[in-house]
Structure 1
Amino acid sequence: MSLDQQLRKKALDHVNKLGTIVEKDPYYPKYHIAPPVGLLNDPNGWIQWNGTYHLFYQWMPFKTGHGAKFWGHVSSKDLIHWKDEPIALTPGDWFDKDGCYSGSAISFRDELLLYYTGNVKHNNIREAYQCLAVSKDGKHFEKKGVQIEVPKGYTAHFRDPKVWQEDDQFYMVIGAQTEKEEGSVVWFSSRDLMEWRFGGTLASGFGYMWECPDFFTIDGTDILLFSPQGLSASGIHYRNTHQTGYIAGKWDKKANSFTHGQFIELDKGFEFYAPQTTIDNLGRRLLFGWMGVPDQDEQLQPTVKNGWLHQLTVPRELAFRDGQIFQKPVEELKQLRKQQLYQLELEKQSVITRDIPKASELKLEVQTHYDIEIQLFGYLTLSYNAQTQHIRLVRPKLDGSGSEERAAVAKEIKEIRCLIDHSSVEIFINDGEIVFTSRMFANPSINSIDIKAIGKLTVWELAL
């Protein structure tokens, strides 16, 4: 039995042994993608191929800590029902023995190609290789080995290739750290996806490392989406251990010049990182993100005791207007609405209390400029102060030492939409102008929500 086969068998044995315990955890999600066991992080290889959506993810099957990552794999026809596929990549070769790190997928000549970073460590010295694996059926992948090595001027923190095609040319962006320990994104080009030419630096300027870059054009604007590390908190901004956001502008490839605006955070919640996008057959730019943040108290999450950690966001459709990205849940997710539980006209600012299932959708349509407060399960509170125009999301700290908050500013609130799934909430404000993504470890026996607002409240139970 080869090392690859041994690793696959060991992982599947671990799933068979502990998977039932994981699924019985009251915090395990009903309609979000989560690991069958162990730790999940970055979404990878997100693509629609031959009419089927394929999503891969960083996976450590054997523990709830990080280590030599596998690529887990799920597929879907409708963005709602997800099927577990065979393990796509295992860290079983010299060029990826310490982890098959993040990357992307592209279709080429009826094959599905995965580009990823092979992580190697010798005596605590890191090496990084950009590698390729190929599949004819979208299920079983053959590794083709190293395609790109670290160019001069950069450290071995050089990872997460994202590949796309424009006309007859292919492009790749990679997150990087310069030898001066500055974060940056570099780019390559190719005619055949095999021989790659180094194009130089696409963008740089702050932080010590830029991870998980994605580059795309939406509504005529070029977007570089990435997760910089090393930003210090500034007021209500950059409050997580590491951040995720984008810069928008215009890239002149011939001049190697990307003229862009300031860095904008994509999500204002407690847990959001390493998103990846694709464009589907309907022309939609669709995003998945990791509902976690590196180095941010993850071992304090209560799911660790049941052998699993983290989940992904729901798929979101992106638009660009008024100089910023808007995000909203894909239209297909409305099919999860099993039944409408409540539709209430809130005519005065008194507290309304209702019980709801832990998998629910809540929509509040606001018609007047008043304060708002929504408390979920006695654990997490979203509030809006109409005078100061501040939105605050508050929850207990995982170590029990008080509370923590994240905040944003909105001139007015017209609509709040919350997708709740046992231990998570995704909050979309004003059609996705502002988004808060957060885990939520409320007491499983508490099902009440308290709302103080003026407007119309609709609540649905969600189920597959």
Structure 2
Amino acid sequence: MNLNKALTKQAYEEVENHIERVQEDPYFPGFHLAPPTGLLNDPNGWIQWKGIYHLFFQWMPFKTGHGAKFWGHFSSENLTDWTLEPIALTPGDWYDKNGCYSGSAIIHEDKLKLFYTGNVKDENGDRESYQCLADSTDGFSFSKKGVQVELPDEYTPHFRDPKVWEHNGRWYMVIGAQTKEEKGAVALFESTDLREWNNRGTISHANKPPLSEFGYMWECPDIFSLSGKDVLLFSPQGLSPDGIQFNNMYQSGYVLGELDYPQASFDHGTFEEIDRGFEFYAPQTTEDEKGRRILFGWMGVPDQQEFEQPTIENGWVHQMTLPRELRLVNGRLHQLPLPELNELRAENVFNGPIDIQYKGSIARTSEIQLKGMVKKLCLFDNMTLTYDEKQSLLTLERPNVADGRPERRSCILSGALYSLQLYIDHSSLEIFANDGEAVFTSRMFADPENHSLFIESDGKVDMAIWRLKDNTVSYMNHPE
């Protein structure tokens, strides 16, 4: 048995041994994607092919810490019911022995092709990185094709997360990078055949105006066009907090501009955080067969009290966000829950106007829609959302998972607060304000027995609450 097969077998044994304990955890999600055991992080290879959505993910099945990552694999036909498929990639070759790191997927010559970073470390911990390829004729079993791009001289081995796309008959790849001066950057490569890749150089970096000293590493770049603008989505590391900005350990956000393909240059504006909650990182997008630009993000942040989360004791940690459609509205990205998510609704439990103060209880898998100005919303005596009308300031507060002290994340809306949509799933909360102008994504480790909901408004608010399905993911589809 070769090493890839041996690692796959060991991973399946871990799932068999631990999945019951994992799923009995009261914090385990009912309709979000989570690991069957161990640690889940970045979304990878997010794509739709032949009517099926494929979402791969960074996965450490053997522990709730980081290490030599696998690519796990979920699939769905409707974006609400998901199946855990057989493992796509294992770290069993010389070029990925310390992890099959993040990457993307494309369709070419009727094959699903995965580009990913092979992580290698020597006995001294020194890193090497290789951009690698695997492909599949059915979308479920993959064959590795080895190294496609080696490390250019101008970057350190922190060089990873290839995102590949086609434009005007040519293939392009952006890679998250660190320059030799230890500054974050995005590298661009070009190919006519997906075999020979030409290094076109750095298209943006930490000191490209209007940015200045903007982090020591840029991870998970993604470039796409939306409403006539090119969007560069990336996750910079090394930013310092600045008022209500950059308060997580690492950030995710975007710049808008125009990618000049012949000149390999990208002129863009300032950086905007894409999510204002406590846990959001490494998002990836795809365009589906309906022409929608859909995003998944990781509901976690590296090095940010990951291992203080109470799910650790039950053998799992982290989960994905819900899929969201991106739209460009007045020069800003808006994120909208997909219409398909309405299929999660199991029962409408409230529908109508509410008084200035509302007190009630809701299920731990729920959706809440509010139309009007909400001044305060408290969920499970744990998460509190407040709105300051004078400043148009929206703030989410919770107890810190490590020490219980209050912590906050805020954003300023472009106008008055007029709508909120919340998705609640045992230990997570996703808030969409003003039709997705602002989004807060956070884990929520409230007392599992607490079902309380309190709302304070200006007395002109309509509310709808649905109890949502609690078992939309199948985790048991793999070979024995």
> TM-score with structure 2 length normalisation?
0.95
User: 1:406 maps to what in 2?
Assistant: 409
1:458 maps onto 2:461 in alignment: no
- State the 1:87 CA deviation: 0.2
Q: Is the 8 A contact 1:174 1:185 kept in 2?
A: yes
User: Structure 2 residue aligned with 1:256, among 258, 261, 264?
Assistant: 264
2:158 maps to 157
> Match for residue 138 of structure 1?
139
The answer to whether the Cα contact below 8 Å between 1:103 and 1:161 also exists between their aligned partners in 2 is: yes
> What CA distance in whole angstroms lies between the structure 2 residues aligned with 1:399 and 1:257?
44
Q: 1:271 is matched with which residue?
A: 279
* Residue 321 (1) aligns with residue 322 (2): no
User: Following TM superposition, by how much is the alpha carbon of 1:329 offset from its aligned partner in structure 2, in angstroms?
Assistant: 1.0
3-state DSSP of counterpart to 1:46: strand
The answer to whether the 8 Å contact 1:371/1:385 transfers is: no
Structure 2 residue identity aligned to 1:67: G
Cα deviation, residue 265, structure 1:
0.3
Amino acid at match of 1:357: A
Query: What's the CA shift string for 1:43-87, capped at 9, x where partnerless?
Result: 000000111100000000000000000000011000011111110
Q: Counterparts in 2 of 1:168-317, with a 5 A limit?
A: 168-205=169-206, 206-317=214-325
Partner of 2:90: 90
Give the Cα separation in 2 of the matches to 1:427 and 1:92. 40
**Is contact 1:45-1:104 (8 Å) kept?**
yes
Match of 1:418 in 2: 422
Rounded Cα–Cα distance in structure 2 between residues aligned with 1:207 and 1:84 = 35
Residue 435 (str. 1) matches residue 439 (str. 2): yes
Please give the alpha-carbon distance, in whole angstroms, between the structure 2 residues aligned to 1:156 and 1:387: 48
Report Cα offsets for 1:233-258 as digits up to 9, x if no partner: 00000000000000001111112221
Following the alignment from structure 1 to structure 2, what is the Cα–Cα distance between the partners of residues 299 and 233?
A: 22
> Is the CA contact 1:371–1:386 (under 8 Å) kept in the aligned structure 2?
no
State the secondary structure of the residue aligned to 2:440: strand
Q: How far apart are 1:413 and its partner, in Å?
A: 0.7
Amino acid at match of 1:189: E
Offset at 1:152? 1.1
- CA distance in 1 between counterparts of 2:418 and 2:162 reads 39
Identity over aligned pairs, percent: 54
Tell me, yes or no, if the aligned pair for 2:374 and 2:455 is still in contact at 8 Å: no
Equivalent-residue separation in structure 2 for 1:405 and 1:16 (angstroms) = 39
Q: Residue type of the partner of 1:378? A: D
1:372 partner amino acid: K
* Runs of 5+ unmatched residues, structure 1: none
Deviation at 1:401, TM superposition (A): 4.3
- Which residue identity lines up with residue 204 of structure 1 in the other structure? H
The answer for the alignment partner of 2:347 in structure 1 is 339
User: Which residue is 2:391 aligned to?
Assistant: 388
Shift of 1:371: 5.7
Q: Deviations over 1:243-289 (max 9, x none)?
A: 00000011111122211110000000000000000000000000000
Alpha-carbon RMSD across the aligned residues, in angstroms, is 0.9
Moved more, 193-202 or 249-258: 249-258
Equivalent-residue separation in structure 1 for 2:351 and 2:376 (angstroms): 18
Deviation at 1:167, TM superposition (A): 2.8
Q: CA deviation at 1:200?
A: 0.7
Structure 1 residue 147 and structure 2 residue 148: aligned? yes
- How far is 1:363 from its partner? 0.6
Which residue is 1:18 aligned to?
18
Over residues 370-424 of structure 1, what are the superposed CA-to-partner deviations in whole Å (9 max), with x where a residue is unaligned? 5610000000000101122211100001112411000011221110000000000
Name the structure 1 match of 2:476.
none
2:475 corresponds in structure 1 to none
Counterpart residue number, 1:41: 41
- Structure 2 segments unaligned to the other structure (5+ residues): 207-213, 473-480
> Is the 8 Å Cα contact of residues 392 and 417 (structure 2) preserved in structure 1?
no
Is it true that 1:445 corresponds to 2:453 in the alignment? no
Taking the aligned partners of 1:438 and 1:330, their CA distance within structure 2 comes to: 19
SS at match of 1:231: coil
Preserved contact between residue 308 and residue 402 of structure 2 (Cα < 8 Å): yes
Q: Return the alpha-carbon distance in structure 1 between the equivalents of residues 450 and 352 of structure 2.
A: 21
AA matched with 1:306: N
Would you identify which runs of 4 or more consecutive aligned residues in structure 1 move more than 4 Å?
Answer: none
| C-alpha distance in 2 between matches for 1:255 and 1:113 | 27
After superposition, where does 1:42-57 map in structure 2 within 5 Å? 42-57=42-57
By how many angstroms is 1:443 displaced? 0.1
Correspondence list, 1:351-366, <5 A: 352-366=358-372
Matched length: 459
| 1:107 is the counterpart of 2:107 | yes
Letter in 1 for 2:389: A
